[in-house]
Amino acid sequence: VLGVGLAGYPLQGADRAAPVLLLVAAVALVAAVVSLVWTPLPGIVLAALAVEFVLRELDAHVLGWHTVLYAAGLLLLCELIAWADTLRSRALVAPDVVGRRAGNMLLGVLAGGGAAGLAVAAGSIESPNAFVAGVAGAAAVAALVGVVWSLGRRHA
């Protein structure tokens, strides 16, 4: 349901890009179905839905809070696909594991939604100099990647 919602949202109000969006949405949905019934393909689902959203964004501007919801929805969908793969085995799952995992997932999605909101808010800051804005954006991206890398190294 979530996948259909995410794939269908960019199609609303799409004009020239509608056929392409439809194709990409179909790819995303097929990948989501394959993920649920056979093998997880969250990368393909994520890439297809993101491409669809970017195409829609290029075609017609999307409202900021819609972007936040869409981004949080993407994260939730990918997490659900990953979780479904964990539960696909014939393992007996304790009920408290399910409850806690769902709670933690919700926490992660809320944090992700907050981060998306921050990104949207940061994007709305008007900069008189395009070069400075570009450098600031690149620095922010590099800083984020650096944080993730250093944390990942700690666990490796």
Binding site for another protein (CB under 8 A): 50, 53-54, 57-58, 61-62, 64, 67-68, 70-72, 74-75, 78-79, 82-83, 86, 89-94, 96-97, 100-101, 104-105, 107-109, 111-120, 122-124, 130, 134, 137-138, 141, 144-145, 147-148, 151-152, 154-155
Nearer to another protein, 26 or 104 (CB): 104
Distance CA 101, CA 88 (A): 15
Nearer to another protein, 27 or 79 (CB): 79
Least separation in angstroms between CB 13 and another protein: 15
Least separation in angstroms between CB 43 and another protein: 11
Least separation in angstroms between CB 33 and another protein: 22
* Cα maximum dimension of the chain: 59
In what helix (H) or strand (E) does residue 68 lie, and over which residues does it extend?
Answer: helix 64-87
Nearer to another protein, 16 or 155 (CB): 155
- Residue of 58, 75, 57 whose CA lies nearest to 66: 57
Distance CA 88, CA 113 (A): 28
Q: What do you get for the CA distance between the two ends of the chain, in Å?
A: 36
Distance CA 98, CA 156 (A): 27
